[in-house]
Amino acid sequence: MTTIEELVEANAISRIEIEMHPRDQVLRLLYGTPDFIAWLDELAKGSQPGRRLGEATPAEQVDDLFNTFLSGMPLVHMRQFRTIRAEKNAVWELKTPDVRIFGWFLKKDCFVGVFGNWTDQVKDHDLYRGYRIAIRRLRRELGVDDTLCVQGVTPGDVLSL
């Protein structure tokens, strides 16, 4: 049976951390594939969409979302996270005004990001289906569909609320 530690050792995924307030503790876990982390790295360096919607920069939006997630604060269903399609072993989307992050929950409160993109790109080119298929394929290749993937599709299945 594949474990999260084995995926990390094989460099299939890496742990993502942020600077947290001293009074906060990490209550959830966040991982990313190498490609997603490369995308995050570009975002941290100031990458911007052609047309920005949010008052905060995309990097600030993602930092705030990760901070909310990691410190165990509630996320607003549909506004900040949702399934792409209600199905067993669903693919999930984390959302900010300008950014969309696609991945899945390895366990409850433990998300792995696979793709990140600008909101307008995802919507204009209808990339949901492509991301969903690519993530399902990746999970099959890693052999984690039955072991490291939350089956349920309700918010309470993936997050301690």
> Closest Cα to residue 53, out of 1, 118, 9, 114?
118
Given a contact cutoff of 8 angstroms between Cβ atoms, the answer to whether 115 and 80 are in contact is no
Among 47, 68, 145, 152, binds other proteins (CB under 8 A): 68
Residue 6 CB, nearest distance to other proteins (Å)? 13
110 contacts other proteins (rule: CB under 8 A): no
Among 4, 28, 39, 65, binds other proteins (CB under 8 A): 65
Calculated CA dihedral for residues 99, 104, 110, 113, nearest 10 degrees: -40
Tokens representing 88?
């067993």
Given a contact cutoff of 8 angstroms between Cβ atoms, the answer to whether 113 and 33 are in contact is yes
- Contact letters (x/-) for other proteins, 8-47, by CB under 8 A? x--x--xxxxxxx-xxxx------x----x--xx--x---
The residues that touch other proteins, with contacts defined as CB under 8 A, are 8, 11, 14-20, 22-25, 32, 37, 40-41, 44, 53-57, 59-68, 73, 76, 79, 96-97
